[in-house]
Chain A
Amino acid sequence: ETGVTQSPTHLIKTRGQQVTLRCSSQSGHNTVSWYQQALGQGPQFIFQYYREEENGRGNFPPRFSGLQFPNYSSELNVNALELDDSALYLCASSLAGSRNTIYFGEGSWLTVV
């Protein structure tokens, strides 16, 4: 167990809808990153949050947004869902400034129909 939990594990949404995915980081980890992994691809970096502020963003449109809360839990929000948003969404937590391992949650499988 990595101590990183994500919810929901699976969900199906319709094109144009909005979705919120949640992540509870490992205790003490103040940095959380989100990744999108499409079928047959490696995970792609969406963004990272450190102490509730966005701290780096990948090549994703603004309809992908996030939040990090004081307890270091996090949300990924995606608006105006498109079919290509169907993927595994992974949350990863770590302790900034250390060489500790980055821990991934089990992911949320999103299917957009």
Chain B
Amino acid sequence: RKEVEQDPGPFNVPEGATVAFNCTYSNSASQSFFWYRQDCRKEPKLLMSVYSSGNEDGRFTAQLNRASQYISLLIRDSKLSDSATYLCVASIQYGNKLVFGAGTILRVKS
């Protein structure tokens, strides 16, 4: 079983749609969680950290459920520019080894 599992997609959605990605992690010692965005043939870039209380950054909302070891990302009002691979990440210690999921592909179409 992989430490971080994601639905690979692809998710094909129209502009303006709301889309949700889910992720589960197996290591209960994980303390820090993130969503990264990766464009084709580019490096991953931090989209947002994920906190137990949930956090929002514009059109993006992330949630963490430690009891279920489950992380989610909600994107509202999808834009063409949101098309990318979204990587779910867990870490036992901040700044230490990052454990990535395989990524979920999002394609937003006009």
Contacts and interface: CB of A to CB of B under 8 A. Distances in A.
B43 A106 contact: yes
A64 to B, nearest CB: 15
B43 A42 contact: no
A111 to B, nearest CB: 13
Interface of A: 2, 31, 33, 35, 40-45, 48, 56, 58, 88, 90, 92, 94-102, 104-107, 109
Q: Give the 6 A-B residue pairs with the shortest CB-CB distance, closest first.
A: A42-B100, A104-B43, A45-B97, A42-B102, A94-B95, A43-B100
Interface string B13-42: 000000000000000000000000000011
B74 interface: no
A62 to B, nearest CB: 18
Contacts, number: 53
A97 B43 contact: no
B98 A45 contact: yes
A43 B87 CA distance: 9
A113 B87 CA distance: 29
A62 B95 CA distance: 23
8 contacts: A35-B100, A41-B103, A42-B102, A48-B97, A56-B97, A90-B44, A96-B95, A104-B45
Contacts of B4: 42
B45 to A, nearest CB: 7
Which of B4, B95, B99, B100: most chain A CB closer than 10 A?
Answer: B95
A2 B43 CA distance: 10
Contact of A104 (B41, B44, B95): B44
Contact of A102 (B87, B95, B102): B95
Nearest to B92: A56
B97 A105 contact: no
Given A90-B43, A104-B43, A106-B43, A97 B95 contact: yes
